Structure 1
């Protein structure tokens, strides 16, 4: 059995995706990360010789094909697809617009679907794994996050449906519902100012039973676990890694 894996991680140049890329690479796996901005992708590539990168939009059908082809052309196989790229916004119902809703669902639902479909024959060949990165808010409601939360709920249900559909092929499909994490998402993906982000962080710390926000490495540990032989009899699961936030 080949120990070295080929892993594709979308949104792999920052936060949880970057932490996972470095964790896989340090184990000797070959990692292809994607991201929309060349600078962060190049910075992450420079951190480990086993990481390669591609500037790509995961919600683009052409970029999905290009991403899978890059991994296969370079290393000849795909063992794990980590759908980590995400989009979101604090978006009250009174402020919604068609474009903002489409943007969120394009990245969080369409993107993983396109990549998983394109990777399917290669994952079948390796009896590989798909790991979707969801959120506590995929199953916990929150005011102002309805469309982000709905997109993550959809991703969690895709996870369960794909697990049933792909089990006869030997492909495992699981998800991690990550809680609030020190990943820069509040000022990046959510578009908050530094002051607004700090206020949200303080509020979250007060709600999380373990009284702190998570570290990207704490999510990356479980991503690596789901891709390991120890999880070969686990599929269709959504694991909450959120300091207990989903319990309240």
Structure 2
């Protein structure tokens, strides 16, 4: 892969899981990486492990954090080449139990957050002819019970990816997405707030439906995020790459 020396990469939700793996791989390819997340302790731990070089405490679902994040990044590093909208929220949420607050929380992180952060980043991505990679989900294009609002939010992000790719092509900005399948991380506990028993049931159900016979690990997904952001993918835009062990075709 072409080295990313001198490039500055911003990865939201970079304190763990897919985001942390992507940040580490970007750094290993020579990029200067900034990760964001809500928990300073997790971000500090990520930096201590050498996976990333810098962090900004920010909540992807808080509208006021978007412009502040970009301003702070530019103050520290002077440029932005790659934006990875990885932070995500979800819930096992049957329609009969859905409330405005629950729906709003999901869309705030998965739709509004990436939109506002990308808007704030655009002037700098235009200067660098940069790249945007959105992290979506198999369930953005595959139906599932009790996931309608999570799935709809990821479907929205997938379609925004295509629309942004058309809108920003004349500025030399590429926009793609990686749709991740079930991946080992703290997402089920931290973001979906499931109990240990619920997590085991979800994992068993997913495993039974994945043709390749295992759940993913963060590196499975992260390597494609890095590949799409690389200059090696210079003629790829508007695409959603599904990385899910074949779950989407079942």
User: Which TM-score tier does this pair reach, normalised by the shorter chain?
Assistant: over 0.9
- The whole-number CA distance in structure 2 between the counterparts of 1:166 and 1:14 is 30
CA shift in 2, pair 1:203/1:2, >3 Å: closer
- The whole-number CA distance in structure 2 between the counterparts of 1:78 and 1:210 is 37
- The whole-number CA distance in structure 2 between the counterparts of 1:49 and 1:165 is 33
CA shift in 2, pair 1:170/1:95, >3 Å: same
Preserved contact between residue 139 and residue 149 of structure 1 (Cα < 8 Å): yes
Preserved contact between residue 18 and residue 185 of structure 2 (Cα < 8 Å): yes
CA shift in 2, pair 1:108/1:212, >3 Å: same
How far has the Cα of 1:57 moved from its partner? 1.1
- The whole-number CA distance in structure 2 between the counterparts of 1:63 and 1:130 is 19
- Report the equivalent of 1:33: 35
How far has the Cα of 1:60 moved from its partner? 2.5
- The whole-number CA distance in structure 2 between the counterparts of 1:75 and 1:49 is 18
Aligned residues between the structures: 248
How far has the Cα of 1:2 moved from its partner? 7.3
- Report the equivalent of 2:147: 145
How far has the Cα of 1:50 moved from its partner? 4.7
- The whole-number CA distance in structure 2 between the counterparts of 1:121 and 1:195 is 46
- The whole-number CA distance in structure 2 between the counterparts of 1:2 and 1:85 is 22
Unaligned runs of 5+ residues in structure 1 are none
Unaligned runs of 5+ residues in structure 2 are none
Q: In angstroms, what is the RMSD of aligned CA positions?
A: 1.3
How far has the Cα of 1:204 moved from its partner? 0.8
- What is the SS of the residue equivalent to 2:34? strand
Preserved contact between residue 7 and residue 81 of structure 1 (Cα < 8 Å): yes
- Report the equivalent of 1:223: 225
- Report the equivalent of 1:163: 165
- Report the equivalent of 2:205: 203
How far has the Cα of 1:61 moved from its partner? 3.1
How far has the Cα of 1:54 moved from its partner? 1.1
- Report the equivalent of 1:89: 91
How far has the Cα of 1:49 moved from its partner? 7.4
How far has the Cα of 1:230 moved from its partner? 1.0
Deviations 1:145-202 (A, max 9, x none): 0000000000000000000000000000000000000012111211111121112111
TM-score (norm 1): 0.97
CA shift in 2, pair 1:13/1:2, >3 Å: closer
Q: Does 1:135 align with 2:137?
A: yes
TM-score (norm 2): 0.96
How far has the Cα of 1:4 moved from its partner? 2.5
- The whole-number CA distance in structure 2 between the counterparts of 1:232 and 1:119 is 20
Among 40, 44, 59, the alignment partner of 2:46 is: 44
Preserved contact between residue 4 and residue 230 of structure 2 (Cα < 8 Å): no
How far has the Cα of 1:45 moved from its partner? 1.3
